[in-house]
C-alpha cells in the first residue's frame, strides 16, 4: 500500500477531509493530512478564499512543501481543489514521488517545470459539468497531461458538483469508488535510467465506470478551481 500526503481544500482541514483520509486508511494506506491553514476552518468558500488571499497562495503552497520535507521522499501526493496545487507541485518537483491524485483541479505541467516525471502515475478526477473544472481550463490541462504522459488517467464523472469526492447521500459518504484507488508505483519498482516501457498507443481518457488497471511506471497561479468549494467541503 501507499504512503499518501493529502492536502485539503480552501475551507481547511474539515471533518469531510478527515473522513476522506480515514477512508484511505481503511483501504490500507498510510495517510498524512497536514493543516495548511494552521488550525483554521471556514464555513464558507468566501471566508476560506479571504484567508488564503491574506496569507498568500504561494505561502500556502510553501507550507505544503514544508510538510512534505518532514516525510520520506517516496510519497503519493494527493490534493483537493486548492490542495491539488501543492500536490501537483511536489509530484513534479520532489524526487522520489510514487504517484499523484489530483481531485477537482489540475494545472498545466508547465507551471512546475514543463514535463511530468517519468514513471510517476497520476490520476485526475473531475465532473464533466462542473463549471469550475470545465470552465477554468482544468479539464484541458488534464487532457493534455493524459495525452502526453505514460501512466496518466483522467476520470470524468457525470454531474456538476465541484467537491464531489466529499459528497454525502442520506448521511453516508457517496464518493465514486475510483477516488479511493490511490495510484502508486510499488516501492521495489524503479524505472531504469533512460528506459521507458513502450506502449502501443498513448494513454487515453478513462471512464470511471471502467476498472482502472494498475500501471507502473515557484509561484503557483491562482485558479478558480483551486479556491472553489461548497457544502460538500464540510
Nearest of 199, 175, 128, 183 to residue 2 by alpha carbon: 183
Percent over 70 (pLDDT), the chain: 71
- In Å, the largest CA–CA distance within the chain is 51
The pLDDT of residue 233: 53
Over the stretch 139-170, which tens digit does the pLDDT of each residue have?
A: 999 999 999 998 999 999 888 888 888 765 43
CA distance 195 to 165: 36
Over the stretch 80-98, which tens digit does the pLDDT of each residue have?
A: 999 999 999 999 999 999 9
Give the count of beta carbons closer than 10 Å to the beta carbon of residue 79: 28
Over the stretch 193-218, which tens digit does the pLDDT of each residue have?
A: 322 222 322 333 553 433 333 333 34
CA 152 to chain centre: 12
CATH classification code of 3-189+200-233: 3.40.50.1820
Domain extent listing, the chain: 3-189+200-233
- Please state the rounded mean pLDDT for residues 102-130: 92
Cell of 178: 475510483
Helix (H, G, I), strand (E, B) or coil at 183: coil
Amino acid at each position: 500500500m501507499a504512503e499518501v500526503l493529502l492536502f485539503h481544500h480552501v475551507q481547511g482541514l474539515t471533518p469531510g477531509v478527515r473522513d476522506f483520509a480515514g477512508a484511505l486508511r481503511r483501504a490500507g494506506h498510510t495517510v498524512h493530512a497536514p493543516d495548511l491553514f494552521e488550525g483554521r476552518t471556514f464555513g464558507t468558500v468566501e471566508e476560506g478564499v479571504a484567508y488564503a488571499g491574506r496569507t498568500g497562495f504561494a505561502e500556502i503552497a510553501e507550507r505544503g512543501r514544508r510538510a512534505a520535507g518532514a516525510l520520506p521522499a517516496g510519497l503519493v501526493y494527493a490534493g483537493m481543489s486548492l490542495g491539488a496545487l501543492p500536490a501537483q507541485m511536489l509530484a513534479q518537483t520532489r524526487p522520489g514521488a510514487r504517484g499523484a491524485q489530483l481531485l477537482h483541479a489540475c494545472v498545466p505541467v508547465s507551471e512546475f517545470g514543463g514535463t511530468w516525471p517519468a514513471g510517476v502515475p497520476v490520476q485526475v478526477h473531475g465532473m464533466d459539468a462542473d463549471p469550475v473544472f470545465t470552465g477554468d481550463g482544468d479539464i484541458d490541462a488534464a487532457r493534455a497531461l493524459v495525452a502526453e504522459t505514460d501512466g496518466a488517467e483522467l476520470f470524468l464523472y457525470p454531474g456538476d458538483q465541484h467537491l464531489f469526492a466529499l459528497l454525502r447521500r442520506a448521511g453516508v459518504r457517496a464518493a465514486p469508488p475510483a477516488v479511493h484507488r490511490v495510484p502508486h508505483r510499488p516501492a521495489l519498482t524503479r524505472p531504469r535510467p533512460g528506459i521507458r516501457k513502450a506502449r502501443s498507443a498513448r494513454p487515453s481518457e478513462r471512464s470511471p465506470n471502467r476498472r482502472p488497471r494498475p500501471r507502473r511506471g515557484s509561484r503557483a497561479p491562482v485558479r478558480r478551481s483551486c479556491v472553489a468549494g461548497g457544502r460538500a467541503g464540510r
